[in-house]
A and B are shown apart, each in its own frame.
Chain A
Amino acid sequence: MFTKKHWLHYLPLFVFLSIGFVIFWYFSYNRLVQFYLVLVASIYYFCWGVVHHWIHKDLTIEVAIEYFAYAVFGISVVFSILNLV
């Protein structure tokens, strides 16, 4: 169940990723900018995960690796498709 406190934690992540998507769309056909944008968004996502769990005192190496794995997956997908356009 989400509470107001939960939403405040998720808001920075959601806003950052949304803005990242809008900038990605704005820079259509500028592949280099698009790639760096996804790289920055993925790093932010990973850092957000680590800080979020650290604040909640349930940060473990497994949790950090989980966020890292998702971030690497996102980067791999976008890097690969940008390499094919």
Chain B
Amino acid sequence: MQFIATLKHLFIPHHTNNQKAKLLHSSSLMVLSLLLILFQFGLKLGSGVMPQILGYAANISVEEVVRLTNEKRAENGLSPLSMNQQLVSGATAKGADMLARDYWAHVAPDGTQPWKFFTDAGYKYRYAGENLARDFTNAGSAVEAWMASPSHRENLLSSKYSEIGIAVVEGDLAGADTTVIVQFFGTKQGVATGVQTASAKTAVAEAPAPEVKPVLQYEKTAGDLTAVTARISPFSLFKGVSMGIVELLIVLVIADALYVSIKGVSRVAGRSFAHLSFMGMILAILLILKSGQIL
């Protein structure tokens, strides 16, 4: 009985909640905000402590990334890129370096440029480019994210490149279990391409080669198959919970507006239509948001 009374208090306009569902009260919204922030921090903490349960299950194969990249190039009238094992080695070393030294950037904390990984792998480039992605659940969404970003798209659809090397590495990055995709593009010296005048994107650094520690927990190169693990994505879990709460609040605001209109309740309060517009924007944002970051 007490339980039903509590539910009524939370969801239905009643004399106990001043004729307005308790969840729509300012104090309740502030509590919900705090709980969501705490839940998010809990998920972040949980993915570090229990990566086998809370984490990003990768379903990414190197072949798929190459195939989708060449598909996008074909759609734009460009020749396909061929896989180069030296670029694969360089990309793998870059991925390993990011995990070993815990950074997510094109340039390492000590200033090491990405081009060093090309030359260390024995690839003497005329043109070189790098795209990075992390936390994507599949190859398709990572390639689509690169295509949506002008600078990454430029790399992907450049006629200067003739070869590609991909590495998909998994490990701990900033305390979270992460899958990183390293995409290296290149054209060797002495190879003619569609563009004759441009040079490499940036100068090659002369710094001594850093030691790359063998810390990869999981590494996939050409020929390997996809590994799928059953884990709960913190992003998907939070998205589901927050969407549920936002939808519930929208329903309550609509019900409240109808209640006030039908019952003729007179009170000084915010406008329901304004709240619905704002919550509608938040819900739309949650709907279009996808996990993953590119660099």
Contacts and interface: CB of A to CB of B under 8 A. Distances in A.
B286 interface: yes
Given A41-B281, A78-B285, A63 B274 contact: no
Contacts of A42: 278
A61 to B, nearest CB: 10
Interface residues of B, number: 48
A66 B274 CA distance: 11
Interface in B155-206: none
B135 A69 contact: no
Interface string A64-85: 0111111111111111111111
Given A21-B281, A52-B271, A62 B26 contact: yes
B271 A70 contact: no
Nearest to B284: A21
A67 B44 contact: no
A5 B265 CA distance: 22
Given A14-B277, A49-B271, A84-B43, A73 B29 contact: yes
Contact of B234 (A69, A79, A84): A84
B72 to A, nearest CB: 16
Interface in B119-158: 135, 145, 148-149
A36 interface: no
Majority DSSP secondary structure for residues of B touching A:
helix
Contacts of A2: 273
A84 B48 CA distance: 12
B246 A45 contact: no
Contacts of A66: 26, 269-270
The contact size tier of chain A is 35 or more
Contacts of A79: 37
B33 A73 contact: yes
B278 A81 contact: no
Contact of B274 (A13, A24, A77): A13
A81 B26 contact: no
Interface in B251-295: 268-271, 273-275, 277-282, 284-286, 288-294
A76 to B, nearest CB: 4
Contacts of B285: 21, 24, 38, 78
Contact of A69 (B29, B37, B242, B268): B29
A81 B242 contact: yes
B289 A49 contact: no
A29 B149 contact: yes
Interface string B19-52: 0000000110110111011011001100000000
B26 A65 contact: yes
A52 B26 CA distance: 18
Top 3 A-B pairs ranked by shortest CB distance?
A80-B40, A76-B33, A69-B26
29 contacts: A2-B273, A10-B277, A21-B285, A24-B285, A25-B288, A28-B290, A29-B145, A30-B149, A42-B278, A49-B270, A49-B271, A52-B271, A53-B270, A67-B270, A68-B26, A70-B270, A71-B278, A73-B30, A76-B36, A77-B242, A77-B246, A78-B282, A80-B39, A80-B40, A81-B286, A81-B289, A84-B43, A85-B235, A85-B289
Interface of A: 2, 10, 13-14, 17-18, 20-21, 24-25, 28-31, 38, 41-42, 45, 48-49, 52-53, 58, 60, 62-63, 65-85
Interface of B: 26-27, 29-30, 32-34, 36-37, 39-40, 43-44, 135, 145, 148-149, 234-235, 238-239, 242, 245-246, 249, 268-271, 273-275, 277-282, 284-286, 288-294
